[in-house]
Structure 1
Amino acid sequence: MIRSLCLALTLAFVSQGAQAGCAELEAACEIDTGLYHIELPDRSEQGMPAVIFLHGYGGSGQGVLKMRGMVEGFKARGYAVIAPTGEPRGEDGPLSWVFYPGWEGRDESAFLDAVRADAADRFGVDAERMILAGFSGGAFMVSYLACATPDAFAAYAPVSGGFWRPHPESCAGPVRLFQTHGWTDPVVPLEGRQLGGGRFIQGDIFTGLEIWRAANECADNKPDGFSQTGQFMRRKWTRCADGSALEFALFPGGHQVPQGWADMVVDWAEGLPGS
């Protein structure tokens, strides 16, 4: 019992020291390959779950923590919010992610692995209970990582982003993924759009869902579950590979992280088998 008490006090001391260092809006946690910000739930505890949320093009980890509706939504459910920062596009360009196959730059998969390990060491979050989520450019990054490394995180939740053309021919294997998109999104339309004078073309969200169904070995293209949560119109595929999960939610708005999204994603993730 004395040993357990000493361990608990040690963890509390380490957590308090770590929080004083970079668990706040203005201070960034620094690792060898980059930066991240983190905010802990009010009742943080050893082994708490977390969401790693990737910002959009031109954003930052610090900017993610200013999305108070989303951040407070996750914190209220006991989740830490981890917000890594991308690297400049070009020498002094906007911050972004190296998501497209063949692009040169930081190994984002290795970077996010390092962020996860560092957050687990400093703050006591459970490295096995992390959802990788992201918005817009961050959602593109999430989608490509989910495709290449489906088992790297407990689940994936891209919002307002998917693949680029040409779409991947296939993904590495079954994945647990919740895709969310706005019906009237003009920045990343459901059908995609051309960028850079046609040098880049955003992919079709529904084509992406077909790729996910193939990766998950779903028995049919047709959804076998329909529901509505507030403004979200949801559909899911359950006759798929064991351990996989695939759901899609549409909301009536545009290019944004919609109100209520955090709660919906947590409900979904905590309802998955083995969660």
Structure 2
Amino acid sequence: MIRQMLLGLGLMMTGSGAVAACGGGDDVCEIESGSYHIEVPDAEHPPLVVFLHGYGGNGAATMRNRSLVDGLLARGYAVMAPNGSQRIGSNRGLSWNFYPGWEGRDETEFLQNVVADAADRFGLDEDRVLLGGFSAGGFMVNYLACAAPETFSAYVPVSGGFWRPHPTECNGPIRMLHTHGWTDNVVPLEGRVLGGGRFVQGDIFAGLEIWRLANGCSDHKPSGFSREGEFMHRRWTCGKDSALEFVLFPGGHQVPKGWADLVVNWYEGLPGS
């Protein structure tokens, strides 16, 4: 009881868009299997965007992307940045255990646990949780959505899809907004070879075909196209409880400015959101 009162006091003292009780700056919220950073808006039961860092990054660095964090807070969304894990046999920084056959932390279980912990601490809406991520974090988003699509309300990867060999199929349906830079040379749209041929990044468009199949689309052709500033959209509307949208922007390997509003506008336009 005392712990909950202190957490509540910390939350009230933060004000709109500030750090709540733990998780801000270099401080973290800890659970048995890892840790996370979080900031919450001044709102009752806000939705949550969980954003996974890229290879070699960490949650604290994600929270320093103030365009992303402040943009989501301003729209009434809490922002969580979990910390990845050290992959077995590697000492090259934190990443995510997404590739089939790799040993290490069960990331689906870990992410479910950090969301449950944050919901308990800060009164978040567990029914409205979006999982996003950049680069390696974006790959993690795709693999988790493929295996366990019901885990989160929607998926919003940036610059990350699948590796070869592509999955033969994914469970579905899913609701996904994939954002990618036209000139991305780290995760090119066509994929690339890594580690002397040991690993090969997949083709983003091949991944979109996998998602169309998971969503039960009867045609490859997009249902619609649009453009907002530098964002070029193509979308597939294929059935109940599914949504698939692909957005290109002219930059490279980065989270583009305006991504927060892009995601919120898309998500809040979905039925039931």
Per the normalisation by structure 1, the TM-score is 0.92
Q: How does 1:67-216 map to 2 (within 5 A)?
A: 67-89=65-87, 90=89, 92-216=91-215
Question: SS of 1:62's equivalent?
Answer: helix
1:77 shift after superposition:
0.2
Question: SS of 1:122's equivalent?
Answer: helix
Which whole-Å CA distance do the structure 2 matches of 1:91 and 1:57 have between them?
12
Partner of 2:21: 21
Give the root-mean-square deviation of aligned CA atoms: 1.7
Query: Which amino acid letter does the alignment assign opposite residue 270 of structure 1?
Result: E
Check conservation: 1:25, 1:39, Cα contact below 8 A: no
Partner of 1:5: none
Check conservation: 2:159, 2:180, Cα contact below 8 A: yes
Which whole-Å CA distance do the structure 1 matches of 2:24 and 2:218 have between them?
46
Query: Which amino acid letter does the alignment assign opposite residue 115 of structure 1?
Result: V
Which whole-Å CA distance do the structure 2 matches of 1:270 and 1:94 have between them?
35
1:47 shift after superposition:
1.1
Which whole-Å CA distance do the structure 1 matches of 2:259 and 2:10 have between them?
32
Which whole-Å CA distance do the structure 2 matches of 1:272 and 1:224 have between them?
15
Q: Runs of 5+ in structure 1 lacking a partner?
A: 1-8
1:151 shift after superposition:
1.1
Partner of 1:3: none
Check conservation: 2:49, 2:79, Cα contact below 8 A: yes
Check conservation: 1:140, 1:162, Cα contact below 8 A: yes
1:109-146, CA deviations, whole angstroms, 9 ceiling, x for partnerless residues? 00000001000000111111110000000000000001
1:14 shift after superposition:
6.9
Identity of aligned residues (%): 63
Question: SS of 1:24's equivalent?
Answer: coil
Per the normalisation by structure 2, the TM-score is 0.93
Query: Which amino acid letter does the alignment assign opposite residue 58 of structure 2?
Result: S
Check conservation: 2:7, 2:21, Cα contact below 8 A: no
Which whole-Å CA distance do the structure 2 matches of 1:272 and 1:215 have between them?
18
Per mean C-alpha deviation after superposition, the further-off stretch among 13-22 and 203-212 is: 13-22
Query: Which amino acid letter does the alignment assign opposite residue 15 of structure 1?
Result: L
Which whole-Å CA distance do the structure 2 matches of 1:23 and 1:37 have between them?
4
Question: SS of 1:78's equivalent?
Answer: coil
Partner of 1:6: none
Which whole-Å CA distance do the structure 2 matches of 1:153 and 1:20 have between them?
23
1:20 shift after superposition:
5.6
Which whole-Å CA distance do the structure 1 matches of 2:13 and 2:27 have between them?
13
Count of residue pairs brought into register by the alignment: 264
Check conservation: 1:26, 1:62, Cα contact below 8 A: yes
Partner of 2:250: 252
Q: Runs of 5+ in structure 2 lacking a partner?
A: none
Question: SS of 1:131's equivalent?
Answer: strand
